[in-house]
Structure 1
Amino acid sequence: MNQYLASSIYIDWQAPEVLAKAKQLAANASDQEEIARRCFEFVRDEINHSWDYQQNPVTCKASDVLKHGTGYCYAKSHLLAALLRANNIPTALCYQRLTITDVPPFCIHGLNTVYLEKHGWYRIDARGNKDGVNAEFCPPIEKLAFPIITPGEADLPELWAEPMPEIVDLLTSYSTYQKVADNLPDINEAQS
């Protein structure tokens, strides 16, 4: 489990501002599940999804997501992992392969899975709710932002301690939310 608690370049929970926010969210919580819910709801509701809000800058590191209050799903998952890990709750990154507009082409979507003592690994998606998207924290039932519907879509089984290299490349290569949207990677590219 140590790899799912680690601080790193992109999941930089030891950054003072991330650690302070993590401790603030955990204050007076009754248990691990309550802390996880608070962290999830903070990232889901208080950090803007870059595409939904047409907002720059492009962020990747958890501390930058917190500082600028914006990020794509991937960056938001980095912040959520950092907040949870700072509270000693094992958290991994995970991914889905989804259509972009209900028909191919496909792209990778980033979310998290958190280890809850009562339930084991439990996936949560803090990308941000909007019309047609209603992700919730209600263990043991998963209520993710996007169900798998279209042939070719998939829940990818891997638990990542660090972001996929293709995601880091995407978020560090482009300086605007539009350029990121124009270059969303697909899992086929990621596996080649």
Structure 2
Amino acid sequence: MRLTQQNPELAAYLVADEVIDHDHPLVRTLAAKLASDVPDVYSYAKLAYEFIRDTIPHSQDSGDMRVTWRASDVLEQGTGICYAKSHAYAALLRAEGIPAALCYQRLADDDGSNPAIHGLVAVKLPGEREWARQDVRGNKPGVDAQFSLGEERLAWKARPEFSEVDYQVLYDVPHPVVLAALKAAPDRPYLWRTLPTEL
């Protein structure tokens, strides 16, 4: 099922690196298992999305103090915030030859205070003209993100009236401020105090 022929312009969105380490045996094994359960790349992208969204708890929701940032660590430890879960989803996509980009929103409270950057993944499937943004953060009361190639079904929509932003850049690697915050945090409470507020 793995895609092998891609547009050269998409090559950067297939690379394995320190963060999106889809060459790691744990990532490869999980990708192969998920791929064996579905008939095509579209079904795989959805299944991998649901796996990360539903079986890897968001550490803020679960109360997990650990901070993960490498895709294989997210899968091994079973925890992560939105950025880390996005890295894991991107790795599962790239492991099957599906271009995956990282992208971001700036979200805030209803009065525009307490801004923070939120991490997403954009997927480019064969035959689709546009990238489709996906949010693997994890659902909870008031949050109902779903895999969608049409209308976006993200956890939150950016509200310009509250100084929220949908950043349009598609990154092949994590944004440096995001990765720096993850790597510097000894635990999640520290990370929560040092989340990036803008890109």
TM over 0.5: yes
Conserved? CA contact 1:48–1:128, under 8 Å: yes
Distance 2:195 2:152 in 1: 25
Question: 1:52 is paired with a residue of what secondary structure?
Answer: helix
Distance 1:45 1:58 in 2: 18
Conserved? CA contact 1:11–1:61, under 8 Å: yes
TM-score by length of 2: 0.91
Give the corresponding residue for 1:179.
190
Give the corresponding residue for 1:129.
139
Deviation of residue 140 (structure 1)? Answer: 1.4
Deviation of residue 105 (structure 1)? Answer: 2.1
Aligned CA RMSD, in angstroms, stands at 1.1
Counterpart amino acid of residue 124 in structure 1: Q
Conserved? CA contact 1:96–1:153, under 8 Å: yes
Structure 1 residues 52 and 102, CA, compared in 2 at 3 Å: closer, same or farther? farther
Give the corresponding residue for 2:53.
44
Deviation of residue 50 (structure 1)? Answer: 1.1
1:18 paired with 2:17, answer no
TM-score by length of 1: 0.94
Give the corresponding residue for 1:33.
42
Deviation of residue 27 (structure 1)? Answer: 0.8
Question: 1:112 is paired with a residue of what secondary structure?
Answer: strand
More strand by share: 1
Question: 1:93 is paired with a residue of what secondary structure?
Answer: strand
Structure 1: stretches of 5+ with no match in the other structure: none
Deviation of residue 118 (structure 1)? Answer: 3.3
Conserved? CA contact 1:56–1:70, under 8 Å: no
Give the corresponding residue for 2:155.
145
- Off by >3 Å, runs of 4+ in structure 1: none
Moved more, 134-143 or 153-162: 134-143
How many residue pairs get matched?
187
Conserved? CA contact 1:73–1:126, under 8 Å: yes
Distance 1:3 1:184 in 2: 26
Identity of aligned residues (%): 42
Distance 2:185 2:23 in 1: 26
Counterpart amino acid of residue 69 in structure 1: G
